Structure 1
Amino acid sequence: MKNQLDPTKVLHAFERVMERGTPTEYGKIYDGVEAFSDYDGYNLYLRGNGVELKVGFHNTYHLEYDQEHLRDSFLKKVAQLSK
């Protein structure tokens, strides 16, 4: 799965959620996707529908999910948010 995500699009999706979202306990949520970062801002997180995407330093990322169809629908949502 490495190199399948475009870091620029993920960052655009993160920014869209942060700009348009409503506050949550950790960050903001918009269109079913929650965005937040750790205390120093080095790691960004997008999560929703049982999937969590962690984007780290140097555009590394880690996806956690239980089912592939949930991952696929989440990544489609992230792609839509990046437009």
Structure 2
Amino acid sequence: MKNEIDILQVMRVFEKIRSQGEAKDDGHYLDGVTARSDFDGYTLYLSDAQSTLTVFFHNKYHFDYPSEQALEDFTKRLHAIDKNH
């Protein structure tokens, strides 16, 4: 799988999790995904149990995942949140 994402979709999902998700110590949680940001809001983190997507200033991003299947599961979660909320 190629590591390309729709950054606008990621931003939408981040905001949906922040506005509709459950507030926790480490961010907001919705449908298996946690959303949080750094202290100044320029770096965003979306993660599930296995994978993390970090979005940096100027829409640069980095995936951290243990396997292609974990990445695929993570991106499916993001798509589902975008579609269903």
TM superposition outliers: structure 1 runs of 4+ over 6 Å: none
CA–CA separation in structure 2 for the residues paired with 1:30 and 1:81: 8
Q: Which runs of 5+ in 2 are unaligned?
A: none
Aligned length: 82
- What RMSD over aligned residues (CA atoms) do the two structures have, in Å? 1.0
Deviation at 1:24, TM superposition (A): 1.2
Q: Relative contact order, CA 8 A, sep 6+: which one is greater?
A: 1
CA contact (8 A) 1:33 1:47 kept: yes
Normalization by structure 1: what TM-score? 0.92
Structure-2-length-normalised TM-score:
0.90
Letter in 2 for 1:51: S
Find the residue that maps to 2:45 and give its secondary structure. Answer: strand
Amino acid at match of 1:65: Y
Task: Tell me the secondary structure at the aligned position of residue 17 of structure 1.
Answer: helix
CA contact (8 A) 1:49 1:70 kept: no
Give the distance between the partners of 1:55 and 1:15, measured in 2 at CA. 13
Q: Deviation at 1:29?
A: 0.2
Tell me, in whole angstroms, the C-alpha distance in 2 between the residues paired with 1:82 and 1:58: 22
Distance in 2 between residues matched to 1:54 and 1:8, nearest whole Å: 14
- Equivalence for 1:8: 8
Unaligned ranges ≥5, structure 1: none
Name the CA distance, whole Å, in 2 between partners of 1:10 and 1:51.
14
Larger deviation: 55-64 or 73-82? 73-82
